[in-house]
């Protein structure tokens, strides 16, 4: 029976988020192993193909024209420049290039044609291509699909309730509409959010309700920790504790078991130990490269060293996103876990065979 549920309510998700940490990690890791190879992590390279000058007012974003940040704006990159960057990303282990443009929405015309050409070019390199270009019509989604786009990123950012405190130039429903347009093509959906923007725990749960309610659920869900940039309205926000990130990743894994959970912005503020706990809790993707659009990110060599240390392998391109793993298949990690956790009605407490729990032990 599928573990994927679309009827989550905020209270259930909060109850999961607030579980004793070891219980939360155990349950998330168990579900993770059932659906994914726990030693494989997908690596994407994020490339800003058009930087700055955006008319929107997202409170976290240094690329909004109205904020006084130190971002240097750039016009749309050339196709050859994008190709060179993609080849470099591939050589350093990335299976996907995600191209971001600081636009409110995509406009038909020469610039969109240029992006379509970029998509075709990267596709020929046998890499997955993702774009994040703002709002999109159904027709534009179909044109991107024809060019070979693999995924479209459009984050919900936060809960519907908190959304207006973060962005005023568009509505939460606009985000859902774009995701809906992407779903009408055969492009996969990447949509997640940011924690640490002053939201309540209820908002984190509310965002997960909105994402998990999508049917199908997004193939990829990035979880970002706010990188507070000077000059933006959120410049004085304190960094979130690593425990919040671990809890958020684990909760996301439990409510969206088949999804690729992406450990995204904010990794420079996390220790390797913290990131390792996120991988254990179900994160199975990262962004590589020293910049995430405009904010700092760990150097790719550092990431590959971390992978080596943790015994993780980068995922090959075009690997089926959800690869069900039976518990038996993970026996090198767990022994004698013969009963799956069950979700039991309203409140959805995890029930597990206590004997089985006792028998679980980690091998070397």
- Which residues of the chain form contacts with ligand SF4 (CB under 6 A)? 54, 56, 58, 61, 63-64, 102, 134
Contact (Cβ atoms closer than 8 angstroms) between residue 352 and residue 339:
yes
- Looking at the Cβ atoms of 13 and 58, the one nearer to ligand SF4 is 58
- Looking at the Cβ atoms of 53 and 317, the one nearer to ligand SF4 is 53
Q: Is 190 labelled a binding residue? A: yes
Minimum distance from residue 62 beta carbon to ligand SF4 (Å): 8
Catalytic residue among 19, 34, 96, 130: 130
Catalytic residue among 54, 143, 204, 247: 54
Q: Is 131 labelled a binding residue? A: no
- Looking at the Cβ atoms of 78 and 169, the one nearer to ligand SF4 is 169
The pair phi, psi for residue 342, each rounded to 5°, is -115, 150
131 is catalytic: no
Task: Give the 3-state secondary structure of residue 321.
Answer: coil
Q: Is 104 labelled a binding residue? A: no
Task: Give the 3-state secondary structure of residue 211.
Answer: helix
278 is catalytic: no
How far apart (Å, rounded) are the C-alpha atoms in residues 191 and 205? 15
Catalytic residue among 98, 170, 267, 352: 98
How many CB atoms neighbour CB 104 within 10 A?
14
Contact (Cβ atoms closer than 8 angstroms) between residue 33 and residue 330:
yes
Q: Is 278 labelled a binding residue? A: no
Catalytic residue among 19, 33, 58, 204: 58
CA–CA–CA angle 230, 233, 235 (5° rounding): 35
54 is catalytic: yes
CA–CA–CA angle 137, 263, 100 (5° rounding): 35
Half-sphere CA count of 351, side-chain side, radius 13 A: 7
Minimum distance from residue 332 beta carbon to ligand SF4 (Å): 41
The pair phi, psi for residue 112, each rounded to 5°, is -65, -40
Minimum distance from residue 222 beta carbon to ligand SF4 (Å): 13
- Looking at the Cβ atoms of 58 and 277, the one nearer to ligand SF4 is 58
Catalytic residues: 54, 58, 61, 98, 130, 190, 262
């Amino acid at each position: 029976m599928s573990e994927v549920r679309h009827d989550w309510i905020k209270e259930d998700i909060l109850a999961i988020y607030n579980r004793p940490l070891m219980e939360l990690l155990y349950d998330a890791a168990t579900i993770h192993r059932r659906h994914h190879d726990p030693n494989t992590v997908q690596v994407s390279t994020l490339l800003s193909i058009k930087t700055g000058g955006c008319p929107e007012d997202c409170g976290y974003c240094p690329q909004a024209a109205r904020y006084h940040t130190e971002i240097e704006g750039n016009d749309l990159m050339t196709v050859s420049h994008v190709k060179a960057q993609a080849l470099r990303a591939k050589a350093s282990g990335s299976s996907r290039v995600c191209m971001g443009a600081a636009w409110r929405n995509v406009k038909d015309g020469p610039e969109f044609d240029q992006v379509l050409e970029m998509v075709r070019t990267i596709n020929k390199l046998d890499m997955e291509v993702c774009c994040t270009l703002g709002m999109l019509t159904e027709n534009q989604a179909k044109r991107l699909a024809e060019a070979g786009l693999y995924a479209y990123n459009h984050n919900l950012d936060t809960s519907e309730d908190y959304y207006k405190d973060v962005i005023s130039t568009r509505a939460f429903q606009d985000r859902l509409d774009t995701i809906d347009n992407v779903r009408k093509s055969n492009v996969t959906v990447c949509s997640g959010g940011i924690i640490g923007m002053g939201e309540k725990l209820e908002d984190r749960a509310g965002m997960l309700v909105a994402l998990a309610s999508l049917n199908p659920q997004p193939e990829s869900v990035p979880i970002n920790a706010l990188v507070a940039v000077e000059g933006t309205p959120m410049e004085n926000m304190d960094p979130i504790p690593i425990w919040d990130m671990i809890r958020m990743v684990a909760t996301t894994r439990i409510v969206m078991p088949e999804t690729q959970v992406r450990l995204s912005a904010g990794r420079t503020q996390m220790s390797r130990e913290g990131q390792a706990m996120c991988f254990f809790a179900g994160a199975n993707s990262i962004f590589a490269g020293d910049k995430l659009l405009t904010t700092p990110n760990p150097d790719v060599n550092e990431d590959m060293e971390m992978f080596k240390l943790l015994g993780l392998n980068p995922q090959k391109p075009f690997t089926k996103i959800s690869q069900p793993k039976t518990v038996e298949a993970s026996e090198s990690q767990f022994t004698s876990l013969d009963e799956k956790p069950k979700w039991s009605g309203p409140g959805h407490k995890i029930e597990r065979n206590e004997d089985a729990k006792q028998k679980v032990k980690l091998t070397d």
